[in-house]
Amino acid sequence: MAELQAEAVHRGLVASIGETTIWRWLSEDAIRPWYHRSWIFPRDPLFAQKAGPLLDLYEGVWKGVPLGESDCVLSTDEKTSIQARQRLHASLPPGPGRALRVEHEYERCGAFAYLAAWDVRRAKLFGHCHQKTGIAPFEHLVGTVMAQEPYQSAQRVFWIMDNGSSHRGQSNVKRLQAKWKQIIPVYTPVHASWLNQIEIYFSIIQRKVLTPNTFESVEEGQERILQFQERYEQIAKPFRWKFTRRDLDRVLERIAQAEDRQRAAA
């Protein structure tokens, strides 16, 4: 408040003003200049064309026709560079009125990647840990899923994925469909991981398993993630995804109108 008070006087907005008055103004107008919120701007020129079919799948529709009972929808991605950090002093357990205390300094014990797939309709999880990402680890995950029912005998298995180098472009489509003809890859728009449901699960992993990050080895970190994966699947339910193609159209329309206003003002 003192800084805002000084700036208002310096700019000549007022001759003098009290901190309480500034606070009241900001409170009444619901303005908090010291807060910020990050967001992801849709930069893909074909954003609507790519996101629409994906959102339709979440509603159980493909090309305007409801999905069949045997159709499967999987959301997949990679959580990369997970650090195994051994703290230089043991953590102190929480107590009455005291939070868990975690030593700030640590030694790096290595890093690994976690590749996972989430069955959107059935709330099933599949995942592997690897030293690094790549085509082979990704196809290992796909092979693990496709070797099981109902995916093995399904007529259509939709795989929702981003544009990462491990599974990008037509070369990936050809590789997958050469081994599993029933796979239909569906790509998110560029810079739109928030449309991929597996990211919800990864955020749960980050909060419940990787924070605070304290592992004495890569193996311990991998084991903990896979144990949580097994536990989570036992209680998991399909995510209540509410963002539809209609919502997307409204968002993109608001963005287009804002850009038009900016151009007009310039």
Q: In whole numbers, what is the pLDDT of the chain averaged over residues?
A: 94
Cβ-based burial of 168 (10 A; exposed 0-12, middle 13-18, buried ≥19): middle
Give every CB contact of residue 208 below 8 A, 6+ residues apart in sequence: 228
Tens of pLDDT, residue by residue over 48-73, are 999 999 999 999 999 999 999 999 99
Nearest to 67 by CA among 167, 156, 186: 156
Provide the pLDDT for residue 42: 87
pLDDT, tens digit, for every residue of 199-210?
A: 999 999 999 999
Contact, 201 vs 126, CB < 8 A? no
pLDDT (tens digit, 9 = 90+) per residue, 3-49?
A: 989 999 999 999 999 999 999 988 898 888 778 888 888 889 999 99
Q: Which two tokens stand for residue 49?
A: 């064309």
Q: Give the full edge-to-edge strand order of the sheet including 106-119.
A: 125-130, 106-119, 72-87, 157-161, 183-187
Please count the other Cβ atoms lying within 10 Å of the Cβ belonging to residue 22.
18
Residue indicated by tokens 């309709």: 121
- pLDDT tens-place string over residues 168-180: 899 999 999 999 9
pLDDT of 1 = 87
DSSP for 170-233?
A: HHHHHHHHHH-TTEEEEEPPTT-GGG-THHHHHHHHHHHTSSS---SSHHHHHHHHHHHHHHHH
Phi, psi (5° rounding) for residue 127? Answer: -165, 150
**Cβ atoms within 10 Å of 2's Cβ, excluding its own:** 8
